[in-house]
Structures are given as structure tokens and as C-alpha cells.
Amino acid sequence: MIWTDTTLVMLPGLHGTTQLYRTALTLDWGGMQTTALALPNHGAQDYAALASAITPTLPAGDLVLLAESFSTPLAMLLAAQEGPRIKAVVLVCGFCASPQSSGLGWLPLQPLFAMSPPAFLLRRYLTGEDAPDELLTDLASTLDHTPGATLAERARVVLALREADCPSLAQLPVLLLQARQDRIIPWDAQSQLERHLPEATCHWVDGPHLLMQTRTRECRDAVIKFLAAAAPA
């Protein structure tokens, strides 16, 4: 199959680390090689700057980009910049414009990100009530190891995002993995992404915002099925 000569590159959410992809990286993704790339913790955090920082670290050859939440606009930008070697894009709980009021960017966000969020908030907004304690520990660890100033800057980047900032990726196979219980990305933002990418395949998963961590195998199976259908005859 064509995808066995392709590398699946996973890009992380707001935390910017590869730690939460540990389980996903142990799975068989249809014979593809897999890797996860961290975002830089220092320097400008806007999507253009992150694309410039990430591009030299991309593996050689054909790629499939899989991005979660914060990194979904980054994946769209990378796909447009890298051209034909990007064979498909998977956007997990993605958006193409600020999913929340842009006015929140005026709030003092850094002090909020300097605090460790309690487990009940992580369960409510990110992992769902049935998440194992190990996932909560990993999630808290990733947030603790990313500077609060960096998290706050990334949040401001999201709040300032406009649909015009995201390429439309016409003619490129795109899969949208959407979470039915997403309490971070509201329905209108999910619908906007679907309209922005009208040729994309949309697959809804019964789970919370952190789909790749809580519904890992279901996400993997949906990706493999999508790529099998997208592969040229």
C-alpha cells in the first residue's frame, strides 16, 4: 500500500510536548512510520513562527500530518508550504478561527497558566469523567513542564486566529476527527472548520476533547480507514 512509504507526523496540542502521544506511537498505523514533534517552548509562538521552527525537523519523504487542537492551524500551514510531499492531513478537534471570544486575549492569562489545574477541571474539559488517573498525571506533568508564559502566548495566538489565516487545502485528502463531548471547541467552531474544508471527510467520535489520548484506537482505526479510501488506485 502506498502509505507504507509515508511517515505519520503527530503534532501536539497547547502543551506542545510529545508525552501524550506515547500510547499512540506504540500502535500499528497501517505500516506507516510514526513520529511526534514537540513545539519550541521559547521564541515566538504564532503559527508562522512555529512553522518555520518545525519545518527543518520534519522527516524526509512523503508525510501525513496529524495535528491536535492548537496545532491544527499549524498543520494546515505546513501542508500548504510543503506542497506535494504532504499526502494527507488529519485534524483532531481542530479549528480554523478562534473557538472562543477574541476578547479573552485581553485577560492576564499567564497567572492562570502558572497554576496546576485541579483534576476535576481536567476531567470536565479535557479527558472526560472516565479518564484513568495515569492520564491525568501525564496531562498535569506536561502542563507543569511548559512555561506559563508560553502557554499564555499560545492561547493568545488562538484567540487572535482568523479563518483567512488558514489555507483551504483544496485537492488534499483531509480527515476531521471531531469529539461529540468537546467542551473546548464549541459546535459553531467545528461547523466553521467543516465549511472551511468542504471536501474533507468528517468522522465524529464519542469522546472528550483529548480524543487521541482517550479514544486512541478508535482514532487510529478511523485514520487507517480514511487513508485506505484516499489512496490512489
Domain boundaries along the sequence of the chain: 2-230
Q: What is the pLDDT along the chain (233 residues), one digit of tens a residue?
A: 468 889 999 999 999 999 999 999 999 999 999 999 999 999 999 999 999 999 999 999 999 999 999 999 999 999 999 999 999 999 999 999 998 754 433 333 333 444 566 677 778 888 888 888 888 888 888 887 888 889 889 988 999 999 999 999 988 999 999 999 998 899 999 999 999 999 999 999 999 999 999 999 999 999 999 999 987 65
For the chain, the first-to-last Cα distance in angstroms comes to 10
**CB atoms inside a 10 Å sphere around CB 162:** 10
Q: Which of 43, 162, 54 is nearest to 102 (CA)?
A: 162
Please, which contacts does 212-215 make with residues 24 or more away whose CB atoms are closer than 8 Å?
212/10, 212/20, 212/21, 212/24, 212/68, 212/92, 213/20, 213/23, 213/127, 213/135, 213/139, 214/127, 214/128, 214/130, 214/131, 214/135
How high is the pLDDT of residue 174?
Answer: 98
pTM: 0.92
How high is the pLDDT of residue 108?
Answer: 35
CATH class of 2-230: alpha beta
Please tell me whether residue 29 adopts helix, strand or coil conformation: coil
